[in-house]
Amino acid sequence: MATEVPLTGGRLTSGVVRVADTVRRPAPPAGQFTAALLDHLHARGFTGTPRHLGRDDQGREILSFLPGDVPAKWRRHTDGQVTAAARLLRGFHDASRDLAAPAGFAREFFSGYEEDDAVICHHDPGPNNTVFRAGVPVAFIDVDFAAPGRRIEDVAYLAWSWCISSRPDRGSPAEQARQVRELAAAYGLTAAEHAALPDAIRDRMRRNVEFWRARPGDRSAEIVAWTLGERAFLDAHATAFRPDQGYCANLGARSAPQP
């Protein structure tokens, strides 16, 4: 029998193991859709997610194993890591544009989207769901919460989880805000989207609180309190995180991801 090696990373899915060059994990509630999403991304040439390989005799999902490191906790990242993550997310979104979700499909982070800009959002593209190789983000894992949404929803979570923190060792608010601008430019946000980004980050924090309040557990209250503290930090430094109007004016229409 093949050896099963427990894997770490995401916060919500337990029982994830490596078996040879595959990953076995409990099938998520929307497993049929997430399998279709991974197949679709692969067919479009996007290599930044695992491949779906079916199910094993225990009913677990079988995914391709992506070698690399997955950090257990959020931490300070370099500009190069942040911009690489933004380009990776842009590739994920662009490859998902022509995948339709089943009629009536909605997930907990679903908030509606414009039909002319429909994408599938990952909805949890934090560092703890990212594979790094040689210090560079190369893939997202754990697409359990993927659902139709607006690009800015995912970019907002990316900005929060990769750049923004009240911890003193994560840099000054001005430095964090500068890195958020780098992230927005690397993704290719329009001027209007970048101007709306601070409010989108706050909205994502609000939905994070709602999500964890609906899941009473050992750490739920702790995560809610932490999120509210991060929201207070963002509000206290709203001026620093407000996009510079001159900077936004130079962004123009959405462009391709920066190389």
In this predicted structure, the answer to whether residue 253 has a pLDDT above a threshold of 80 is no
What pLDDT was estimated at residue 28?
81
Residues in the chain: 259
Q: Which residue has the higher pLDDT, 9 or 134?
A: 134
Q: Which residue has the higher pLDDT, 182 or 245?
A: 182
50 SS3 class:
coil
Residue reference for tokens 């690489």: 84
Q: Which long-range contacts (CB under 8 A, 24 or more apart) does 99-106 make?
A: 99/36, 99/37, 99/40, 101/33, 101/147, 101/148, 102/33, 105/30, 105/33, 105/147, 105/148, 106/147
Q: Which residue has the higher pLDDT, 42 or 6?
A: 42
Q: Using 50, 70 and 90 to split pLDDT, how confident is the model at 258?
A: very low
Q: Which residue has the higher pLDDT, 102 or 1?
A: 102
Q: Using 50, 70 and 90 to split pLDDT, how confident is the model at 104?
A: low
pLDDT in tens, 183-209: 999 999 998 999 999 999 999 999 999
**What per-residue string of b and e applies to 164-189 under the rule 16 or more CB within 10 Å gives b?**
bbbeeebbebeebbebbbbbbbbbbb
Distances (CA, A) of 60 to 24, 113, 145, 222: 6, 32, 17, 30
Please list, in sequence order, all residues whose beta carbon lies within 8 angstroms of the beta carbon of residue 223, skipping any fewer than 6 positions away: 208, 212
Tokens of 32: 């049929």
pLDDT in tens, 196-244: 999 999 999 999 999 999 988 778 999 999 999 999 999 999 999 987 6
pLDDT in tens, 131-148: 999 999 999 999 988 988
Half-sphere exposure of residue 34, counting CA atoms within 13 Å on the CB side? 25
108 SS3 class:
coil
**Domain spanning 79-249, CATH class:** alpha beta
Instruction: Tell me the pLDDT of the chain averaged across its residues.
Output: 87
Q: Rounded to the nearest 10 degrees, how much is the dihedral formed by the CA atoms of 78, 163, 16, 51?
A: -70
What pLDDT was estimated at residue 29?
78
In this predicted structure, the answer to whether residue 12 has a pLDDT above a threshold of 70 is no
List the domain boundaries for the chain.
4-64, 79-249
Contact (CB, 8 A) for 5 and 65: no
Q: Which residue has the higher pLDDT, 63 or 258?
A: 63
pLDDT in tens, 40-97: 999 999 999 999 999 999 999 999 999 999 987 889 999 999 999 999 999 999 999 8
What pLDDT was estimated at residue 133?
98
What pLDDT was estimated at residue 221?
92
Please return the burial class of 204, using the count of CB atoms within 10 Å of its CB with bins 0-12, 13-18 and 19+.
buried
What amino acid occupies position 83?
T
Q: Using 50, 70 and 90 to split pLDDT, how confident is the model at 100?
A: confident
